Homo-oligomer: A and B are copies of this chain.
Amino acid sequence: MKQLLPLLSLGFLGFAAPVFAQNDYQADSIFIRKIFNTSLSEGKSYEWLRHLTQNVGSRLSGSEGAAKAVAYTKSVMEQEKFNQVFLQNVMVPHWVRGAKEKAAIYSNKVKTVVPIAALGGSVATPKGGIRAKVIEVKSFQELRELGTEKVKGKIVFFNRPMDPTKLNTFEAYAGAVEQRGAGASEAAKLGAVGSLVRSMTTRLDDVPHTGSMRYASGAPIIPAAAITTNGAELLSKTLKENPDTEFYFEQSCETLPDAPSHNVIGELKGSKNPAKYIAVGGHLDSWDFAQGAHDDGSGCVQSIEAVRILKTLGYQPNNTLRAVMFMNEENGLKGGIAYADSAKSKKEMHIAAIESDRGGFTPLGFGIVGNAAQKAKIQQWQKLFATYGIHELGPGGGGADIGPLAQQGTVLLGLIPDSQRYFDYHHASNDSFEAVSKRELELGAAAMASMLYLIDKYGLD
């Protein structure tokens, strides 16, 4: 000890503040190695995910599954003896799918059944469904140019695919998803009776990918559904052969009154600044017909695991560390909003919030939302992360659930995993436990724990 102390002091004094002292770099490097080793050899995230996806199952806001997921993740953090585990009340939208949808293409008296899924928030069709001619468009611009005359009484079929040449599949998603979110109202304004959107995936497959939609105020309310990509290809081909092709679909979804639900929060108390917080989270809700393994069971178990690993390694945080399971990201964001509101009213100063909501894939970086100095401070840690293949510190956003904290000056960080497979599973029935690789999940948890550790140790001032 006597020998070490002067060296450490020299290290701290000999460099300007933003430059690492050599001894700290070494200590941090060793500690981060321990974090990764713990996650990869004694990790708990994978078994938690197994339970959350296979035993709890789907957990759309307001559902029984969501309530079970709240109870389960609370019990996990209690078993891990987090200093405090509690629920935060939040009222959430309560949309239900009802009976399984029916759909078919009718052309020249040939009926071809195709899989569809009602979009979250959509209304039902009239009983017996809707059957109408179809108009295919690739953009809102094209739709508007067609005008009421050609659209009225028809089902509008939005068929612009995600651009496969985008390396980052989230960019491809961003370039196509307005069709799902706003398509129905755009179509309804021109007299359409239904809206059908190509599933948001670059794959050609037979599972419909749902997701939320919203009705624009003033526009007529028409039912909206997603068709599989193979179904979309077939419908497009059939329409080219026979413009009089009709599409039939029936769905019985409905929006019930808002329901009570919860965010789930577990804490590791700060030893120096217990009233300052760093949150790490994912969202607990998932679409109703999927196990929600990548979206976002992975982010939830990684967040708990990030805090657990630091606890297991005996790390005494300066600030209070929180694992947060946000409710209702998929169709409302009520949990994220409630969390930020509560933090504000209780004056819980959040230094940073880290979210994982891009799947349990190999981590490649973190998106950062903060000022230039804050970004620069985080980017100094590049070398510590590069050992683990984590190269990208900076570009990209934080996460939907933590977004509302930005107004309070909180730095937002979003884990960036490899995006290539995310939309193979996104909002679809194949987003199951088997689709998640144990090692990839564990690497993500370790990346989050490492970032949590560095921010807690060095702050972001």
Chain A interface residues toward B at CB < 8 A: 36-37, 40-41, 164-165, 167, 169, 202-203, 362, 364, 387-389, 391, 418, 420-421, 424, 437-440, 443
Query: In the complex, what residues of B have CB within 8 A of residue A362's CB?
Result: 362, 418, 420
How distant is the Cα of A169 from the Cα of B440 in the complex, in angstroms?
Answer: 12
Copies in the complex: 2
Q: Given the known A-B contacts A389-B364, A424-B437, are A36 and B167 also in contact in the complex, defined by CB atoms under 8 Å?
A: yes
How distant is the Cα of A169 from the Cα of B165 in the complex, in angstroms?
Answer: 29
Query: In the complex, what residues of B have CB within 8 A of residue A388's CB?
Result: 167
How distant is the Cα of A40 from the Cα of B166 in the complex, in angstroms?
Answer: 9
Q: Given the known A-B contacts A36-B165, A40-B164, A418-B418, are A439 and B202 also in contact in the complex, defined by CB atoms under 8 Å?
A: yes
How distant is the Cα of A380 from the Cα of B169 in the complex, in angstroms?
Answer: 28
The answer to whether A41 touches B167 (Cβ under 8 A) is no
How distant is the Cα of A424 from the Cα of B391 in the complex, in angstroms?
Answer: 25
The answer to whether B418 touches A165 (Cβ under 8 A) is no
How distant is the Cα of A418 from the Cα of B169 in the complex, in angstroms?
Answer: 17
* Of B364, B420, B440, B443, the contact of A439 (CB 8 Å cutoff): B420
The answer to whether A164 touches B41 (Cβ under 8 A) is yes
Query: In the complex, what residues of B have CB within 8 A of residue A438's CB?
Result: 202-203
Q: Is the interface of A mostly helix, strand, loop or mixed?
A: loop
How distant is the Cα of A367 from the Cα of B149 in the complex, in angstroms?
Answer: 61
The answer to whether B439 touches A164 (Cβ under 8 A) is yes
Query: In the complex, what residues of B have CB within 8 A of residue A389's CB?
Result: 167, 364, 418
Closest 5 pairs (CB-CB, A-B): A37-B165, A420-B439, A40-B164, A41-B164, A421-B437
Who on chain B is nearest to A161 by CB?
B41
Query: In the complex, what residues of B have CB within 8 A of residue A421's CB?
Result: 437, 439-440
How distant is the Cα of A362 from the Cα of B164 in the complex, in angstroms?
Answer: 15
How distant is the Cα of A437 from the Cα of B169 in the complex, in angstroms?
Answer: 13
Q: Given the known A-B contacts A36-B165, A165-B40, are A420 and B440 also in contact in the complex, defined by CB atoms under 8 Å?
A: yes
CB of A46 to closest CB in B, whole Å: 10
How distant is the Cα of A66 from the Cα of B437 in the complex, in angstroms?
Answer: 31
Query: In the complex, what residues of B have CB within 8 A of residue A41's CB?
Result: 164-165
Who on chain B is nearest to A439 by CB?
B420
| 5 extra A-B contacts, CB within 8 A, seeds A36-B167, A169-B439, A203-B438 | A37-B165, A167-B443, A362-B362, A418-B418, A424-B437
The answer to whether B391 touches A420 (Cβ under 8 A) is no
Query: In the complex, what residues of B have CB within 8 A of residue A37's CB?
Result: 165
CB of A74 to closest CB in B, whole Å: 28
CB of A207 to closest CB in B, whole Å: 13
Query: In the complex, what residues of B have CB within 8 A of residue A167's CB?
Result: 36, 387-389, 443
How distant is the Cα of A282 from the Cα of B167 in the complex, in angstroms?
Answer: 25
A-B contact pairs, 29 of them (CB 8 A): A36-B165, A36-B167, A37-B165, A40-B164, A40-B165, A41-B164, A41-B165, A164-B439, A167-B387, A167-B388, A167-B389, A167-B443, A169-B439, A202-B438, A203-B438, A362-B362, A362-B418, A362-B420, A364-B389, A389-B418, A391-B391, A418-B418, A420-B437, A420-B439, A420-B440, A421-B437, A421-B439, A421-B440, A424-B437
How distant is the Cα of A15 from the Cα of B40 in the complex, in angstroms?
Answer: 48
